[in-house]
Amino acid sequence: MKKLLNIGLSVLLFGGLLVSCNDDDYHTIESIDKIKIDSVKIVNDTMAVFAIQSIKTYSTYPSHCDGFYGYDYIYNTNLERTVTSYKYITNGPCTQGSYVGANQINFSPQRKGTYTFKFWNGGNNWITKTIVVE
């Protein structure tokens, strides 16, 4: 049994080395930039305090060299949030053509009230959504 375990571990390690040595799958991130949020989907506009709800955002990326990097999620007041999405840009060869990417924020309010979310939509434009927490 011990010999079988050693063989299995050796195969796993050797296979992992083969996969990790393939440089074609990795590209260097050249820069990070804002990307506008095109639309937002909130399933329930009313929820309970301490519950968890996923808020989905959708953005259009100009090429397959771009992808989701993260959110800037700012608490402006106790009940107001601003959300800006960021993309990474890589240096690798990529398929041209835009594509829509979906990402999400898990919202878990700690107090009751009407929460206002402002999602950056480019320039001075914002998509505003509200969620009532009871």
pLDDT band of residue 22 (cuts 50, 70, 90) is: very low
> What six digits make up the tokens of 49?
């305090």
Which regions of the chain does DSSP assign to beta strands (E)? 29-35, 39-42, 46-47, 53-63, 66-75, 80-90, 96-107, 113-120, 126-133
Predicted pLDDT of residue 100: 96
Contact partners, residue 132, CB within 8 Å, separation at least 6: 45, 46, 47, 113, 114, 115
- pLDDT at residue 122 is higher than 90: yes
Predicted pLDDT of residue 1: 45
Predicted pLDDT of residue 130: 98
Q: What is the pTM assigned to this prediction?
A: 0.78
Q: List, for residues 44-101, the tens digit of each pLDDT value.
A: 999 999 999 999 999 999 988 999 999 999 999 999 999 999 999 998 888 788 999 9
**Domain boundaries of the chain, sorted by first residue:** 27-133
Among the listed residues 118, 123, 1, 122, the one whose alpha carbon sits nearest the alpha carbon of residue 131: 118
pLDDT band of residue 24 (cuts 50, 70, 90) is: low
Predicted pLDDT of residue 25: 59
Angle (nearest 5°) at CA 72 between 66 and 74:
165
- The CATH number that domain 27-133 falls under is 2.60.40
> What six digits make up the tokens of 19?
């996969």
